[in-house]
Structure 1
Amino acid sequence: MNLEETIKQLPDSAGIYQYFDKDGHLLYVGKAKSLAKRVKSYFNFTPCLKPNTNLSSRITKMISQTFSMNYIIVNSEHDALILENSLIKQLAPKYNILLRDDKTYPYIYIDNSADFPRFEITRKIIKSQNIKYYGPYSVGARDILDSVYELCRLVQKKGSLKSKKLCLYYQIGKCLGPCEKDVSKEEYAKELDLAKELIQNKKILLKKLHEKMHFYAQNLRFEEAGTVRDRCERIVRSEIKSEIDFASDENYDIFVLGHTQHRAVVVRIFMREGRIISSSHDYIQLHEGYDEDELYQRVLMDFYSIGKPPIVAPILVASEFEGREIIESYLTTIFEKKAEIRIPKKGDKKQLIDLALINAAELLKRERKQDSDEIPTQIKELLHLQKLPLRVEIFDNSHMSGVATVGAMAVYEDGKFDKKSYRTYHLQARDEYSQMRETLTRRVQSFSKNPPPDLWIIDGGATLLKLALEILESSGTFLDVIAVSKEKIDAKAHRAKGKASDIIHIKLANSDCEAKFPRKDDIFRLKDSDKRLQWVQKLRDEAHRCAINFHKKTKLKLDQESKLLELKGISQAKIIKLIKHFTTFEMLKKATIEDISSVLNIKDADIIKNIYK
């Protein structure tokens, strides 16, 4: 069935639709209350099937590339919204806007029903009576809490009251000592009131921290002064400065968008009890144009997707967007109460929106380093990639004679390594091919939580490149992949220092490109001085460093565990045999006597289980 026939027989039902190009690559995933009405709105059918004339240039380009489509019927528009969001994250279609902000924001909370309450951090609702939440905080929650315990004489640790004995915190004047002393609730409440004021008013908190920092510096306690200074910087960074202070105790979550040609920014501001308490922002790469309607939907869905937030507040946005009603319906289900998305036109709430928009514009003015813009563009042109490689994942494996086998994924984004996104894996596979297959498969399995990047770089040759493409194809994900291997001289990899003649392997995804830019074996041999090659090498070397370091840590742990077993009479040869079978000591500890005796003998299995009881 061709595209036109598929469109004409679409049902008047809720569902999601997928557009594919002539090579079978996914272009777009969309949702619809009525599949028939929504999809037909993209096309004119006379005199032949073509894009509708009232579409944006971005959508016109997409429809022009559409060769076929699939669709899935669901029970409701709400179900379609959830399925659409899931598929976009997993498959990263070319024309959908992809967000990577799946983190949750911490809250500080206190259980006022306790005899001597204390503050703690949470990312979810605590099932207890009389809970009071403060937040959310984009950064600085731990710093604020540490500062409170530094400045207020509260019960410092959760288990302190159970001991019934005074501890060091009382001795150094950081606790009133209600575990043993006769401390009245009124006296303790004074310290609680001070703590609450410090949490709610950062100006007072920072003033007290600066006083403490100067005290440390005057007493030549420079290390402690530096710690307080760094803490102050993180607390300041957690919010946008503003003189807006509502005369009421209103709560609002504010979301605004800004964009340039190649990237957008989302700014979030959180107002609690009439004050701005924190803010955050994230950049979004735009590969195929900007769609504010889709982006607002993605931003709101992703932010609240973790579950009901501890504080449910009305949502303010800068402009009306298509799909606002279905997003409100979706959020109502999560919040367990009516969700409100408002577009302020005047007054204090409009000032909040304007403040957020000013900050969005300022964030977009910040230019990245020249080479972080230029080199990815040159790489895209050289290799004819589908997307500008602004976020790249690089993979390598490491082992020593099959022992402590590990995989590593380094991540490069916006001109720097994103070390928080690095991942390491303990591997069971024996040979390098199987190890890379295991590493890449595990990464693909996490696409639903951590969406694919713009480019994969594999440390290896054409064989591993083919493997990576097969794994991606089996998952339904289209992603550009390149592999980097050493030049071989007399069948040996050439690794002379300063002469690292690396070869870039790539299989072009677009057959038209292959016809237009033919080359032997899809290989690029660039000069050692070529900045494009050096860029790829830098990324490859970081993944190699990450893999080696994780291997060393794993090997050290294995050696320590091995010594324990050797002391109990298990030989080194037997230990190697065990690790090759179970891959890690953690797996060995979980194994049954029967599992271990299948590798060694029942006597040794008995010894090992006794060690790890």
Structure 2
Amino acid sequence: MAPTRADIAFDSESFLKNLTKQPGVYQMYDQAGDILYVGKAKNLKNRVSSYFRSSGLNAKTQALVKRIHSIEITVAPSEAEALVLEHNLIKSQKPPFNILLRDDKSFPYIFMSEGEDYPRLAFHRGAKRKKGKYFGPFPNAGAVRDSLNFLQKTFGVRQCEDSVYQNRTRPCLLYQINRCSGPCVEKISQEDYHSDLENTRLFLEGKSDQLHQRLVQKMEKASDNLNFEKAAVYRDQITALRQVQAQQVIEAGGGNMDVITAYSEAGLSCVHLLYVRHGRIIGSKSYFPKDKLSSSEAEVLSAFVAHHYLGHSAMDTPPNIVLGYDLEDRTSLEEAISKSLDRPVKITSNVRTYKAKWLAMANEAARQNLKNLLNNRQTLLDRFESLQDALDLDDMPGRIECFDISHSSGENTVASCVVFDINGAVKSDYRRFNIEGITGGDDYAAMKQAITRRYTRLQKEAKPLPEVLFIDGGRGQLNMAKSVLDELGIADILTIGIAKGVTRKPGMETLIFTDGQEKHLEGDHSGLHLIQQIRDEAHRFAITGHKQQRDRKRKTSTLEQIPGVGAKRRRELLKHFGGLQEVMKANADDLTKVNGISKKMAMDIYSALHSE
């Protein structure tokens, strides 16, 4: 009997090889599927890698690592968001290797007192018994102190204890260094003080446009006066304002719901579910349903929802289910689930604000967890064995290469060559070829040039040749590749064309051989899944190279390369963030806060600035 996924030991090497460097949360499970540990990271790849280094681990960490059987990750928009999510997961799942907190009083707040001539701001942790407003929660004490420090420098609202304030007879040092407006000795009128206090309140509630515009104006004025040092101070304040203002999406809104989406690649699918209770993400889980038909993500999601909720406990099912795709049978599913639970359940997919952000988190988690499964060493071994059987090879292929062509209406043609072995992608051996001297759109000529350059060089340098060569294309591209190999005297490479078929749907590919034979593998065939994975990687690598070549031809600044970002929008971006470096650091949500930048434009700018 073939081993199940539960029987496969955790392969840290292949898992880490493809792990994202984005911030997020990782959940470690044992062989029984029980949670061991939940952690957060600014860089998931670097943090998780530290558990598997050869030395320097303490006894507790070594005991944890020995029990790890699988790891699931959830990508977060920022490190602060990851920290809040980590706290929620620890509280709800109680992992044995985590330090468990006793109650909800661990999150700090900013407190603004009321009922005084000169109210104060203060750091607060614990029960909310004092009269006043509480702003938060913040992910940690450092974030609160950074915010208080920023507000102190900007508005000068007092932060001293009442006992100190009531016994002052002259202003303190903070007044002398412009960090306090001196209300203790009436250096500021109540009217002006309450104006500063109101600005502080608006800032803490995220309504700080007025403050932002003021800082921008001051920065521009200082720059015009050639006072660049002062302008840099304002630039740093703009940066601090943006960071403190960052929206929290881990805790938002209210109510109970499940957020579910699906991601498919190379014949496999991952469904990721976020559990949201009382506006807080308290857990997440990835599922890997078996699909023999290579169904679309929407079809996979429809089947999952029906299986997961029909007959499910009414207590465990929330009143709202948010899906990543609009399902054709959404209405009937909604009716059936509601009837089985004897209470209404609403299914939606077209969502905005924090629900859309939760959905984006779920989609990224599904993509990352499926990617990790695809590159698991045991999974790859099974696929290579299946491919060997499908192609009737005497030995398992040790090296596979695949070519693809990418261009825009015949311009900027780029060919890609990707390499796989039994351990997965060999990215150090990937190559791109900028195709020149051919008629635009002539894929045959482009393929001929790429293969000629590739294998001429391999022969000259006595480098290893692949046992199997895949060509993403039909019989014409295949014949061109075969003719080049014959000219070079290379006769021992099995060369196969991958034709997508009329519907171009995954699972419908036809394998074309140089002797005229054709073969069609079933949609759930592991060997076909390997072919799809290699073909998709060649396509991705070609597309990336094509975009890079296209962008290099625009000898302009980084922002000027982005379609739709003209002089006015560039000026607004630089004003808002204080410089290009901070624009590069901003996420899509931050970009939407800039005047004239829509959500779609923000996504375009973010993608352009962070494309590979």
Q: TM-score, normalised by structure 2?
A: 0.30
Q: TM-score, normalised by structure 1?
A: 0.30
